[in-house]
């Protein structure tokens, strides 16, 4: 039987629009506070008597203010903002996912948009220029579809695998490299898989490259000038992993010079330090390039993503209240 009176603090602005839905799924007798996530003092004060903190951030000050915290639950996959060393003994840390469907949709949409040249056509038509082989045969060629295109996945976790399911439906071919080369190409419907050491082979064959690996010491700068030079001038790069996986200078130069056909960039090299702050995402003017789709790290941010995450978190809180084993526990490194 659920224990009444569990106290929950939610310090994640993405869940606030779902507050009614979220609270409806909590154990009977729960109390919930929603302090301003940007006010660390308010969060620390709210967490003093809390059993659960729902947030991807838990500073040492917040953790030390907690007297009986039993669970810190991130509303996403990342838990690097949680200072585990300062948490009360026995406090568990959990995460959740569900962004792969939204991110795969972004990958597929970006691949079509860039491969078909729709960004350039849109910009031209706004100026009255019809960038079409029918109306401007000297300026516009026939654009290729995704059918028959070779997509190379740098990383094939749940994001890469879900993206491939969508792109495969368009008639594309697939390749991948992963850290250990553990992907079963045949089982996934891919033509080939290898390790990161085989990256040159993947790049040589790819029309579209999807970067979907986390940023680590091993992946920082994984795609630099020599790697990008292996792609052909019509190739498209889609980065939904982390910005610095692709060398910033080399990427801008490849796009600016036309040696790389286009890019969809959802992850960047500089981010705002606070909500509402204006911040250029790179020291280079990517925004001046007609062959770049720029988005603010939003590929996974949909209502469906956070509705599923809210349900996951509420289910874990119910397990906590009932004394059951939690899911998606992040073990201490």
In a domain, 1, yes or no: no
Q: What CATH number does residue 71 fall under?
A: 3.40.50.720
pTM of the model: 0.89
Whether residues 86 and 147 share a domain: the answer is no
Compute the Cα dihedral for 7, 13, 14, 16 and give only its sign: positive
Collapsed DSSP state (helix, strand, coil) of residue 73: strand
pLDDT at 5: 84
DSSP-H helix ranges across the chain: 19-24, 40-47, 60-65, 100-115, 118-125, 158-169, 185-188, 199-205, 225-228, 248-257, 303-322
C-alpha to C-alpha distances, 306 to 97, 100, 303, 320, nearest whole angstrom = 9, 12, 5, 21
Residue 13's domain comprises 7-97+303-322
d(CA 47, CA 16): 17
Q: Which two structure tokens, joined as six digits, stand for 69?
A: 């915290």
d(CA 179, CA 245): 14
How does residue 4 score in pLDDT terms, banded at 50, 70 and 90? low
Whether residues 308 and 166 share a domain: the answer is no
Contact call for residues 290 and 123 (beta carbons, < 8 A): yes
d(CA 286, CA 280): 9
Whether residues 288 and 254 share a domain: the answer is yes
In a domain, 142, yes or no: yes
Q: Among all chains, which residue has been given the structure tokens 């659960």? A: 52
d(CA 71, CA 58): 11
In a domain, 333, yes or no: no
What is the 8-class DSSP label of residue 88? P
d(CA 61, CA 174): 47
Number of folded domains that form the chain: 2
Q: Is the pLDDT assigned to residue 2 strictly greater than 60? A: no
pLDDT in tens, 125-156: 999 999 999 998 887 788 999 999 999 999 99
Instruction: Tell me the pLDDT of the chain averaged across its residues.
Output: 95
In a domain, 82, yes or no: yes
In a domain, 68, yes or no: yes
In a domain, 2, yes or no: no
CA-closest candidate to residue 74, choices 51, 50, 52: 52
Whether residues 121 and 232 share a domain: the answer is yes
Whether residues 284 and 153 share a domain: the answer is yes
Whether residues 80 and 129 share a domain: the answer is no
How does residue 331 score in pLDDT terms, banded at 50, 70 and 90? confident
Whether residues 77 and 165 share a domain: the answer is no
């Amino acid at each position: 039987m659920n224990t009444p009176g569990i106290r929950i603090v939610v310090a994640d602005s993405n869940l606030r629009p779902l507050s009614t839905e979220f609270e409806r799924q909590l154990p009977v007798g729960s109390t919930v506070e929603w302090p301003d996530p940007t006010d660390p003092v308010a969060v620390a004060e709210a967490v003093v008597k809390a059993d659960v903190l729902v947030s991807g951030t838990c500073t040492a000050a917040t953790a030390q203010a907690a007297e009986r915290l039993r669970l810190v639950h991130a509303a996403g996959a990342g838990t690097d903002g949680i200072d585990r060393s300062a948490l009360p003994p026995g406090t568990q840390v959990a995460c959740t996912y569900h962004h792969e469907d939204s991110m795969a949709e972004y990958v597929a949409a970006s691949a079509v948009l860039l491969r078909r040249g729709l960004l350039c056509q849109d910009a031209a038509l706004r100026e009255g220029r019809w960038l079409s082989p029918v109306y401007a045969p000297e300026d516009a060629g026939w654009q290729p579809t995704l059918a028959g295109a070779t997509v190379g996945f740098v990383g094939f976790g749940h994001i890469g695998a879900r993206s491939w399911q969508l792109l495969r439906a368009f008639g594309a071919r697939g390749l991948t490299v992963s850290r250990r080369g553990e992907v079963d190409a045949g089982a996934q419907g891919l033509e080939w898989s290898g390790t990161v050491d085989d990256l040159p082979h993947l790049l040589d064959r790819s029309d579209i490259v999807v970067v979907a690996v986390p940023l680590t010491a091993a992946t920082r700068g994984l795609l630099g000038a020599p790697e990008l030079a292996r792609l052909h001038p019509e190739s498209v790069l889609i980065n939904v992993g982390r910005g610095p996986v692709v060398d910033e200078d080399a990427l801008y130069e490849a796009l600016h010079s036309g040696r790389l056909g286009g890019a969809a960039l959802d992850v960047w090299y500089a981010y705002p330090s606070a909500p509402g702050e204006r911040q250029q995402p790179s020291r280079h003017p990517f925004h001046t390039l007609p062959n770049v789709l720029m988005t603010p790290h939003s590929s996974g941010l949909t209502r469906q993503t956070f509705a599923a995450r809210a349900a996951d978190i509420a289910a874990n809180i119910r397990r906590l209240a009932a004394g059951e084993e939690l899911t998606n526990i992040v073990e201490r490194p």
